[in-house]
Amino acid sequence: MNNIKFSVKIKEQDLFRFNLHHSYTSSQGILSVVLFVLLIAIWIMRFPLLSPLYRVFYPLIAIIFLLYIPMTLKLRVKTQMTQEVFQHPLTYEFVETGVKVSSPSTDEPAELPWEYVYKVSTWKDYLLIYSNRVNAYIIPKEDIQDVYDVAIDYIKNHVEDYKLQIK
């Protein structure tokens, strides 16, 4: 099978969406949503008994629980996007030994051997190649439309089935 090579430019929106997805599928994200719902439920049920201060306090704290994660992620992503690696397109090459990733900002390409791929999944508009439970190469599908099907076939031939979550 021939090597597959393509380049993608990660945008701030791509990184933010990935981090938001990860946060809200983690225990911290789920807990923040549960606390928001609980505070609003208590506020609604106890509204007639609450003092004016608490009538404002409950929804305010609930909104803070809900918005804390996206706001901190937005700030973190803005900081990450200033890093040299995100200033240029990343070039991916699928080779027999693994996934090679290079950038004009690095001298040598990084390589993730196929046997060390944690999982490969598709989510919304992205192909995600995880190197561990949290970190992934984010590949926008729109950037690889011309090689997407071939790339998926290549991955399926090199990664164990139980690591694949491709839709």
Task: Give the count of beta carbons closer than 10 Å to the beta carbon of residue 18.
Answer: 19
Query: Looking at residue 2, what is its pLDDT?
Result: 85
- Using DSSP, state whether 167 is helix, strand or coil: coil
> Can you name the CATH fold of 4-10+86-165?
PH-domain like (2.30.29)
Burial group, residue 99, by CB count within 10 angstroms (0-12, 13-18, 19+): buried
* Residue 130 backbone phi and psi in degrees, to 5: -85, 135
pTM above 0.85, yes or no: no
pLDDT tens per residue, range 11-39: 999 999 999 998 988 888 888 889 999 99
Q: Where are the chain's structural domains?
A: 4-10+86-165, 15-80
